[in-house]
Amino acid sequence: MKEFCGDVSHGFTTLHGAAVKDQALDKKQKEFIALGIAIAVRCEGCILAHVKTCLSLGVTMEEIASVVDVAVLMGGGPSTVYGGKALEIAKYLMEKE
């Protein structure tokens, strides 16, 4: 993206930074929201990125599982598949550490 769509890539990076900075909600809370949305909209790349960020912020499997619970509520049956993927990714990355 950066090579061929530099302006858009830069703009998205700027938007991302502004959206996740600590404000009324802290970065951890915002990452939980982003992960839940990623699961509900079935974006595997987004799930991986947000699980990695959540783990870097010290979240637990129980917290990720709670996010999956809400994502399934909002995203329905398909979110059970993607929620499972999020849990598998988190478990794998936690064991890898």
pLDDT tens figures, 40-84: 999 999 999 999 999 999 999 999 999 999 999 999 999 999 999
26 pLDDT higher than 90: yes
Question: Which pLDDT score is estimated for 97?
Answer: 80
Cα–Cα dist 50/77, whole Å: 21
Name the token pair of 80: 């059970």
Specify burial of residue 72 (Cβ count, 10 A radius: 0-12, 13-18, 19+). buried
Which phi and psi angles does 25 have, rounded to 5°? -110, 145
Domains of the chain: 24-96 (1.20.1290.10)
